């Protein structure tokens, strides 16, 4: 059931001193502070157990909170103590509608109308206004709709007060929801009728935050987020404790991908409305910021209040994977899948199998992990990263040929969107699988973005070269690698080991070609990087290298001591 919004005008009562106390509780309902409001209503009922309206507002609070059994108890008690007050009949009928009990809905609504229509009953106009609006609201806002009945009741309500701001918010909601029902799937929404009603509400009461909230919400489907945000901020400026505005603002910021700000606003909503539903929604917002350590803390904190919410276990499974606690991650993702299977909902997604597969692999169950990730790919054709995940599992197990196969699948699935990194990983897998020519071709496609792909090309071509009489196939690639990283101190430190290997190759190669000047330059570059390098020390004692001049080699960039 969607959470319905309480009416501010319901705070009207006859006894001023008592009304102020009850009004405060009703405003808490309006602000979605349901738990606190329920506590206030219990105190009010204890003070005056014969007041039917208080039972109605208490039931109304439970209704919006989604605690329908308690709402029904309050409405029935209200009927018992005040059988000629139509409000509790309307309340009980609303419970019937939401519970798909059409007989109860029809009978209770009809009873409320009979009481208001009887000439012998002098029912206050405000009570009649509220009763008709309540009946209409449920037909508009609940999952099931009855727009014909809703507009009938709203038009009747107008006869009792055509200057009530909430009345026009209700009419705006009717036009908004009926347009969504009719054209929501097409995206061709005409929301002008709803907008005119919300504007009328704001004209009648410029300080009514619910009218501003409604106008902001109206702009969200059109993705007019900046103007929607302004309405939400205006509502907060009028009432800094108006919780729904923080929730809608957070949801909008979430849609816009501004996750840190969304979390900030949902935290404020949580502060004002610390219910279980809100705690768990807040935890899911934190998850979206990718602060997985904090997400684990908030998800675990929110879980006990409703440990039958499968989404919490899904997000815990994901978050524990991201924080490296694979045992807990697997425990929670299995719990999610068990619950989803037993209940038939929510739908198990490709991402669920993806995380489970990776968690299985991290737990030493490679075969099950691969099979599970393949299931994820089967369910979600867009999950082409699954091929990389499988390749990573095989690489870790040193099954490089299998790893290369899945990197190739990833590249084929990506087509023109295949990245340099995809080719880089493919090249490494093929190199260790001793497929040096294929690896060289893959590294060539990665070399424009990753300088060390040139280093790997050098390695591949060294393996492809004639070992007895080398042609120097690796030379241009090691030389290019040195050129790209050899002049930057930070890059040198990051690539020190590979630079030493590159210079060492050049030292050997130029020695075989009797280019002792360049051989010496290469070995001196090794020594500049590693003064204790044994190979460089030995090579520099060779009589031909020792006799060569230390400058004059222009074949590659030499290295000086850092």
Q: What angle separates helix 496-512 from helix 516-529, to the nearest 10 degrees?
A: 160
**Closest to 169 (Cα-Cα) out of 4, 1, 7, 3:** 7
Are 495 and 452 in contact by the 8 Å Cβ rule? The answer is yes
Tens of pLDDT, residue by residue over 399-414, are 999 999 999 999 999 9
Among residues of the chain, what percentage have pLDDT more than 70?
96
Domains in the chain: boundaries? 1-119, 475-562
Q: Residue 84 is encoded by which pair of tokens?
A: 């000629």
Q: What is the DSSP string of 121-134?
A: ----HHHHHHHHHH
pLDDT of residue 561: 66
Take residue 515 and report the two structure tokens written for it: 């280019």
Give 378-438 as a DSSP string: HH-TT-THHHHHHHHHHHHTT-HHHHHHHHHHHHHHHGGG--HHHHHHHHHHHHHTT-HHH
Number of H-type helices and E-type strands within the chain:
31, 0
3-state secondary structure of 67: coil
Q: The dihedral of CA 155, 157, 160, 166: what is its sign? A: negative
CA nearest neighbour of 93 among 74, 112, 114, 69: 112
Contacts of 446 (CB under 8 A, 6+ apart): 420, 421, 423, 424, 427, 453
- What residues contact residue 272 under an 8 Å CB cut-off, 6+ apart? 31, 32, 33, 241, 243, 246
Q: Which residues of the chain have pLDDT under 50?
A: 1-19
Helix spans in 184-309 (H) = 192-204, 209-219, 225-238, 243-255, 259-272, 276-288, 292-302
pLDDT for position 10? 34
Length of the chain, please? 562
Query: What pTM does this model have?
Result: 0.70
**pLDDT on residue 16:** 31
Place domain 1-119 in its CATH homologous superfamily: Tetratricopeptide repeat domain (1.25.40.10)
């Amino acid at each position: 059931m969607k959470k319905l919004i309480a009416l501010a005008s319901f705070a009207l009562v006859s006894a001023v001193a008592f009304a102020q106390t009850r009004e405060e509780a009703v405003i808490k309902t309006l602000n979605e502070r349901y738990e606190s409001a329920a506590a206030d209503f219990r105190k009010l009922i204890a003070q005056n157990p014969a007041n039917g309206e208080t039972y109605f507002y208490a039931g109304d609070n439970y209704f919006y909170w989604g605690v329908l059994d308690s709402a029904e108890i309050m409405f029935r008690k209200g009927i018992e103590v005040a059988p000629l007050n139509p409000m509790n009949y309307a309340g009980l009928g609303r419970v019937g509608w939401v519970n798909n009990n059409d007989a109860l809905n029809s009978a209770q609504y009809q009873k409320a109308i009979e009481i208001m229509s009887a000439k012998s009953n002098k029912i206050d106009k405000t009570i009649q206004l509220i009763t008709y609006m309540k009946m209409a609201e449920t037909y508009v806002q609940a999952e099931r709709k009855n727009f014909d009945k809703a507009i009938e009741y709203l038009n009747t309500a107008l006869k009792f007060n055509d200057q009530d701001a909430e009345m026009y918010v209700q009419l705006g909601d009717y036009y908004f929801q009926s347009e969504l029902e009719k054209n929501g799937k097409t995206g061709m929404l005409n929301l002008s009728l709803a907008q005119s009603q919300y504007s009328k509400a704001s004209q009648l009461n410029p300080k009514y935050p619910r009218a501003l909230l409604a106008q902001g919400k109206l702009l969200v489907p059109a993705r007019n987020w900046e103007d929607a945000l302004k309405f939400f901020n205006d509502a907060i400026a009028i009432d800094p404790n108006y919780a729904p505005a923080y929730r809608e603002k957070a949801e909008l910021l979430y849609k816009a991908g501004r996750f840190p700000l969304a979390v900030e606003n949902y935290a404020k909503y949580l502060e004002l409305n610390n219910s279980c539903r809100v705690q768990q929604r807040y935890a899911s917002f934190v998850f979206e910021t990718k602060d997985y350590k904090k997400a684990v803390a908030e998800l675990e904190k929110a879980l006990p209040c409703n440990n039958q919410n499968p989404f919490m276990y899904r997000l815990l499974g994901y978050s524990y994977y991201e924080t490296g606690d694979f045992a807990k991650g697997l425990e929670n993702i299995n719990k999610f899948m068990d619950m989803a299977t037993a209940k038939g909902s929510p739908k198990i997604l490709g991402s669920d199998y993806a995380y489970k597969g990776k968690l299985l692999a991290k737990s030493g169950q490679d075969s099950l992990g691969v099979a599970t990730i393949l299931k994820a790919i089967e369910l979600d054709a867009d999950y082409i990263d699954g091929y990389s995940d499988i390749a990573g599992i095989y690489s870790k197990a040193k099954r490089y040929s299998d790893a290369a196969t899945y990197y190739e699948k990833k590249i084929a699935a990506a087509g023109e969107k295949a990245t340099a990194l995809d080719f880089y990983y493919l090249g490494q897998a093929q190199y260790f699988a001793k497929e040096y020519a294929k690896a060289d071709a893959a590294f060539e496609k990665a070399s424009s973005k990753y300088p060390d792909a040139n280093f790997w090309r050098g390695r591949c071509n060294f393996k492809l070269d004639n070992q007895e009489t080398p042609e120097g196939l690796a030379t241009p690639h090691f030389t290019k690698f040195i050129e790209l990283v050899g002049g930057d101190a930070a890059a040198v430190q990051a690539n020190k080991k590979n630079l030493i290997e590159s210079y060492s190759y050049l030292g050997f190669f130029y020695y075989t070609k009797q280019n002792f000047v360049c051989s010496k330059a290469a070995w001196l570059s090794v020594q500049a990087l590693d003064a204790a390098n044994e190979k460089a020390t030995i090579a520099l004692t060779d009589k031909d290298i020792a006799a060569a001049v230390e400058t004059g080699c222009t074949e590659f960039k030499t290295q000086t001591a850092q």
